[in-house]
């Protein structure tokens, strides 16, 4: 039991690190908002498939927020923490009964990604105003679409090799 919990903790930390690296190292600046687009979303979706809804969402939130912290974007830490958690949790809810289903993976990533686009736009309206928020919609949409696409490619390549570590709580039997 302790060995499984340790393994799950280590894999959650590893996926949080991969989300951070893909978010922090691959940045495409957005002059309209002062923010950036990144490749972290594909790792978030992969984390959900590997870790289940709860741990995948935790890895997503932690990795994304850490990237904002180290990028000097302190104002975005809390919104990212919440938005990335919910985005991943939505995907985990969609794939709950069958995490290996490519159709459910795509649907979950798309629905979670759509939430992200709406949520970040609403936060931007409050933080930077309506015009820049609306102007940033194409960037966050492209980021999300690229994240979903890269995830689907990675998931296809790793299909059958991805170890679902969510165990009894969120494994093949479904997410809690």
Q: What are the pLDDT digits (tens) for 119-146?
A: 999 999 999 999 999 998 998 999 999 9
Query: Count H helices, E strands: the chain?
Result: 8, 2
Residue 83 contacts residue 74 (beta carbons within 8 Å): no
Q: pTM for the whole thing?
A: 0.87
The C-alpha atoms of residue 66 and residue 44 are separated, in whole angstroms, by 14
Is the pLDDT higher at 26 or at 167? 26
Tell me whether residue 176 is in a domain. no
Q: Which domain holds residue 36?
A: 2-170
Residue 54 contacts residue 86 (beta carbons within 8 Å): no
Determine which of 12-16, 72-76, 128-132, 171-175 has the lowest per-residue pLDDT on average. 171-175
Tell me whether residue 164 is in a domain. yes
Tell me whether residue 121 is in a domain. yes
Looking at residues 68-84, what average pLDDT do you find?
95
To which H or E segment does residue 27 belong? strand 27-30
Per residue in 103-121, pLDDT (tens digit) is: 999 999 999 999 999 999 9
Where does the pLDDT of residue 33 fall: very low under 50, low under 70, confident under 90, or very high at 90 and above?
low
Tell me whether residue 156 is in a domain. yes
pLDDT at 26: 83
Residue bearing tokens 């492209």:
142
Tell me whether residue 105 is in a domain. yes
Tell me whether residue 175 is in a domain. no
Of 38, 4, 13, the C-alpha closest to 165 is: 4
If one counts the domains in the chain, the total is 1
Tell me whether residue 36 is in a domain. yes
Q: Beta-carbon neighbour count of residue 100 at 10 Å?
A: 14
Looking at residues 29-50, what average pLDDT do you find?
85
Where does the pLDDT of residue 2 fall: very low under 50, low under 70, confident under 90, or very high at 90 and above?
confident
Question: In CATH, what number is assigned to the domain containing residue 102?
Answer: 1.10.1760.20
3-state SS, residue 171: coil
* 79-92 burial: b if 16+ Cβ within 10 Å, else e: bbbebbbbbbbbbb
Tell me whether residue 99 is in a domain. yes
pLDDT at 112: 98
pLDDT at 172: 42
């Amino acid at each position: 039991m302790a060995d499984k919990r340790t393994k799950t903790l280590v894999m959650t930390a590893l996926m949080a690190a991969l989300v951070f690296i893909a978010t922090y190292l691959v940045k495409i600046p957005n002059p309209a908002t002062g923010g950036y687009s990144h490749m972290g979303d594909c790792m978030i979706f992969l984390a959900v498939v590997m870790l289940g809804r709860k741990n995948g969402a935790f890895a997503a939130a932690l990795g994304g927020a850490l990237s904002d912290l180290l990028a000097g974007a302190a104002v975005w830490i809390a919104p990212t923490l919440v938005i990335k958690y919910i985005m991943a949790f939505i995907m985990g809810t969609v794939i709950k009964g069958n995490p290996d289903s490519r159709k459910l993976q795509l649907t979950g990533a798309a629905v979670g990604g759509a939430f992200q686009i709406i949520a970040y736009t609403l936060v931007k309206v409050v933080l930077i105003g309506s015009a820049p928020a609306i102007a940033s919609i194409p960037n966050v949409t492209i980021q999300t679409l690229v994240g979903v696409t890269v995830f689907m490619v990675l998931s296809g390549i790793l299909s059958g090799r991805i170890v679902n570590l969510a165990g009894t709580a969120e494994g093949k039997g479904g997410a809690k």
